[in-house]
Amino acid sequence: MNLLLIRLIIFAVLFFAGLKLYRMYREWKLDREEAAQGSPQANQMVRCAWCQVHLPEDEALRERGQWFCSPDHRNKYLEEQQHGD
Ligand SMILES: [Zn+2]
């Protein structure tokens, strides 16, 4: 048995395993970064029809085709529309 050869083989296996893991990690990281950037629908900004403040779509309320930042502003907007008629 050549002990040096066995050590060399073990070293080579560890080296390539590490290289493969490193490449897998890099691909995984790139995938995550692309997933974070490539979703414009997830956090689209909308504007409150009453106070004009901008907020994420998932935090806004939708009523009659308009966006609102709170139920209070939705009520005020609808009230004014009713008075306008
Ligand atoms: Zn508002």
Question: Is the distance from CB of 54 to CB of 47 less than 8 angstroms?
Answer: yes
Look at residue 84 in the predicted model and tell me its pLDDT.
64
Cα 60 to ligand 1 centre (Å): 9
pLDDT band at 41 (very low <50, low <70, confident <90, very high): low
pLDDT band at 35 (very low <50, low <70, confident <90, very high): confident
What is the average pLDDT across 41-57?
A: 90
Structure tokens at 74: 């939705």
Look at residue 29 in the predicted model and tell me its pLDDT.
92
Cα 14 to ligand 1 centre (Å): 60
Cα 44 to ligand 1 centre (Å): 17
Higher pLDDT, 34 or 47: 47
